[in-house]
Amino acid sequence: MFRLVVVRLFFGALTLWVVSLVVFAATQALPGDAAQLILGRDATPERVEVLREQLNLNDPVAVQYMQWFQGIVQGDLGTSFSNRQPVAEYLAAPIRSSLTLMGLSALVATPISLLVGAFSALRRDRGFDHVSSTGTLVIASVPEFVIGILLILLLGPGGFDLFPSVYSRNGDWDQWILPVFTLALAVAPPIVRMMRATMIEVLESEYVQQARLKGMDERIVLWRHAAPNAIGPVAQVIALQLAWLAGGVVAIEFLFNFPGVGKELMDGIDNRDVPLIQASVLLIAGVYIVVNLVADVIGLAANPKVRVANR
């Protein structure tokens, strides 16, 4: 287990370094001059040149990357071009908002998905099972931003007018409903289908059949013997879906004008705010890598065969 974690941490750090190279190259390829965009069209060439010197934009690309990467290693994410604030301070509140949104979505999606998957297994080949299997297959095939648009049309001001469709920063709890519900629907189908498959396998196992032959109450058989053994393999799928949230939250935050890292990333691209773009992408990639590491550890802990095979 320890060796696996060390190996995964090494490859995670290597992946993050590759991501830093890719995102730095991508921001260098963005059209336009960052200094010109900051100062506006009316700025004189002299002012633009002075700002370029201040931002180190005249240095060779390799020098710019090494300076930026050295700052990242030291915990300095740079200074935003558009507002001249340290990026780490500027992103503190959006990071909290994004993590809260992801956490609420996971809290909504996980228990409901487990219950739906387990109940589908208990009602195998019956009406509920057919409806849930078809529904999860359809939802899984639809991009998350399409789900968000459909929810806005149905539950927003254009439909039943139950919830606001845009985050307005007034602190009302109801403006969290549609973003959370959208992300929950996006991550739920794989969990439901995996829980159904593992639950069916467990219900057909010998130890469950033996417990039933002993005359145990069906509820005890299900919740003491079947469910704990079925949830183990599903835990890794849950962790992987939570890792997906790190990237999927970008489109949803932009769609609902939610003040998270995803929205700041999109705003940074519009303003050609290179430090903000670079820091946002690295943060999202870092969360994805960490959650994937957790998924690997959970997979080992839940599956003794895999744990023994990795020794």
Give phi and psi for 40, each to the nearest 5: 95, 170
Q: Please give the average per-residue pLDDT across 249-275, as a whole number.
A: 89
Q: How confident is the model at residue 171 (pLDDT cuts 50, 70, 90)?
A: low
The DSSP line for 194-247 is: HHHHHHHHHHTSHHHHHHHHTT--HHHIIIIIIHHHHHHHHHHHHHHHHHHHHH
Examine the pLDDT at 206 and tell me if it is beyond 90.
no
Residue length of the chain: 311
Per-residue pLDDT of 68-125, as tens digits, reads 899 998 888 888 887 888 999 999 999 999 999 999 999 999 999 999 999 999 899 9
DSSP 86: B
Q: Which residue has the higher pLDDT, 293 or 148?
A: 148
pTM of the complete model beyond 0.75:
yes
Interval 48-71: pLDDT, tens: 888 888 877 888 889 989 988 999
- pLDDT above 70 covers a percentage of the chain that reads 95
